[in-house]
Amino acid sequence: MSTLKDQLKADLTAAMRSRDQVRAGTIRMALTAVTTEEVAGTQHRELTDDDVLKVLAKEAKKRREAAEAYTTAGRTELADTEQAELAVLEGYLPKQLDESELEAIVREAVAGSGASGMQQMGLAMKAANAAVAGRAEGGRVAAIVRRVLAG
């Protein structure tokens, strides 16, 4: 069993004991998503810490998008709930890179991959995503790769 999953279970118990409903509910949803991912497919498997981080990142992205949708619809109370859940999930994710750090890493990865134009964006994205390793969303990485390859 992954240590991150064990940490989530321990934190769920602590949140339930302290009667922190937002934290407990968010961790419970995250553990459910992890379990769903484990049983997806034809064979049950144990997720590694990297796999659990990917699931948590996916859940965080859902919360971020829902909060934006609620904000644009004028539903601030629901947006606040999503933001609170997002804050709990971000506590388990690695620190996200800021734009300048991300651009430096992507430039180095693209140069190392040998990609020279937009025709080789797949090669550049593969190298960039490996270098970034979950510390930035794919859309941000793709935008910077396009900018680097274009100019």
pLDDT tens per residue, range 79-90: 999 999 999 999
Where does residue 99 rank: exposed (0-12), middle (13-18), buried (19+ CB within 10 A)?
exposed
DSSP string computed for 42-64? SS--PPPHHHHHHHHHHHHHHHH
Give 99-150's CATH code, choosing from 3.40.50, 2.60.40, 1.10.357, 1.10.10.
Answer: 1.10.10
pLDDT band, residue 129 (cuts 50/70/90) = confident
Protein fold of 3-90: Hypothetical Protein Yqey; Chain: A; domain1 (1.10.1510)
pLDDT at 32: 96
Which sequence spans correspond to the domains of the chain? 3-90, 99-150
**Contacting residues for 148 by C-beta, under 8 A, at least 6 apart:** 103, 106, 107, 110, 124
pLDDT at 75: 95
**Residue in the structure block whose two tokens are 């961790």:** 27
What secondary structure does DSSP assign to 79-90, as a single string? HHHHHHHHHHHH
CA distance 59 to 35: 13
pTM for this predicted structure: 0.78
pLDDT at 1: 55
DSSP-derived letter for residue 144 is H
pLDDT band, very low/low/confident/very high, at 135 (cuts 50, 70, 90)? confident
Q: What is the mean pLDDT of the chain?
A: 89
Tokens of 41: 């497919």
Average pLDDT of span 91-113:
86
